[in-house]
Amino acid sequence: MAEIRPIKRLLIANRGEIATRILSTTRELSIPTYTLHTPSDTLHTHHSTHSIALPSPSSYLDISHLITLVKHYAIDTIHPGYGFLSESAEFSQRMLTEANCHVIGPGPAILSRTGDKLQARALAQECNVPVLPALQNPTSSPSDVETFAQKVGYPIVVKAVDGGGGRGIRIVYQSSELERSVSLALKESPSTLIFAEKAAISGYRHIEVQIIGDGTGAVRHLWERECSIQRRFQKVVEFAPSSLANRRLVSKVIEATLKMARQVRFLSLGTFEFLVSEEKEEYWFLEVNPRIQVEHTVTEQLALGVDLVRLQVLIAQGYRLEDVFPRFLGQDPEVPPPVYSIQLRVTAEDVANNWALSVGKIKGFGFPMGNGVRVDTHLTSGHPAVIGTDFDSLLAKTRNFRKLMGNRRFQSKKSTRRNLDRRHNNKPKHPPRYPRQPRFREWKMRYAMARNSSPFLTKKRRDVNTKTTTKTDKYGDNHHSTLNYPS
């Protein structure tokens, strides 16, 4: 029996919707929480036990300052979310050695092998997983990249060794683009180091496999997601399962993922990314994201309501995977659950200005609702949100999911389009129609236009005080309309 280490105080070292997402789970687990905030960015702190003010936005990346806070508030565990320091082996190591504080995630050793793109490639090669030809050593010299490009041919992809979220990636189609692309990638690399690999573009799908491990070698998969629809290498639409019809090929990708994860005795949540060509029946390993991802909620709906954050927190306390992983989930890679899920990201961007960040104040908002719809956001009704230039533009994530009945992908896409339309018009163009049956005659219907209740029907109501029967003829405020159906 593994030793359980209960979490006494949890610091969420992040902000925005992911901080709110983590809070929703930790509240269910009755774990005291601490959140961080800057003066103009506090909406994600509303449901935490305590909130701590930071001197500046850059403090989210200041390891020494965070260590000081952890010591001052006697915090024993940190959830890094995604972005910021979530893939930093140094952050995980220093918190453990200097503050005796555990960072939820794979730990410094596994982060060193998977968070760095070149190290992750080496792991793939060690496990005989196919990788694209690439520079073997990181560099900051355009001449090294040019030599590589002449050897393998164009196009190539230039990547920051420690990039993430689409940053530090450039596709180079010809030699005249090389110097500028390398310069831009270097600027977006914290370590100012890049590498290059042969580009696989035409006919390839971007597939990622969600796994979870407990550090003992036990690893389980939760099938795959597809994120081929991107803008500037930033995922904007994600769905699961993938659009690949060849499930045997998908099974090979999932098995390759499990092989790599077991090799390093992976701990916590991780995502392994691949480029997959159904036409050529081949796949290439790309990278590992050793953390929770923005699109983890797609898998939560695919896996029939599994709470990945809950699993992550329980495993961080010492629980074994066999004790917390749902037994009702199958593990056949070729047979995903009979559900289809699709996610769209809602961002504060100016479409007319090349998708530039759109700053300002959000005074009100409305998101879609209905069967099979889930929205994750830190925006709070009645509390204006200030959108500045300090943080990412992500405001919310909307998802639709449908159980397998006919064409599940078509049903989910149709539902997603319908919910997007609801954002612009909450008022129906036509009143709802009900069958003309005798029991509907002389009934009056109250239709809830916006915010109060669902449509319902009333016929007669017995007055308890006078014990007489009276007809109901008044219905709430002016926002509601009464429709009379003639006999």
- Active-site positions read 291
**DSSP assignment string, 355-381:** TEE--EEE-------STTEEEEE--BT
Check if the beta carbon of residue 400 is closer than 8 Å to that of residue 384.
Answer: no
91 backbone φψ class: left, alpha, beta (φ>0; ψ -120 to 50): alpha
Q: CB under 8 Å to 469, separation ≥6 — which residues? A: 460, 461, 462, 463
CA nearest to 96, candidates 109, 83, 84? 109
Residue 470 in tokens = 């009276």
Burial of 471 (0-12, 13-18, 19+ CB in 10 A): exposed
Burial of 289 (0-12, 13-18, 19+ CB in 10 A): buried
Cα separation, 320 vs 216, in Å, equals 8
Cα separation, 301 vs 472, in Å, equals 42
**DSSP assignment string, 165-191:** TTTTEEEE-SGGGHHHHHHHHHHT-TT
Cα dist. 116→78, 137, 161, 286, 288 in Å? 21, 12, 6, 11, 8
Mode of pairing for the β-strands spanning 356-357 and 349-350: antiparallel
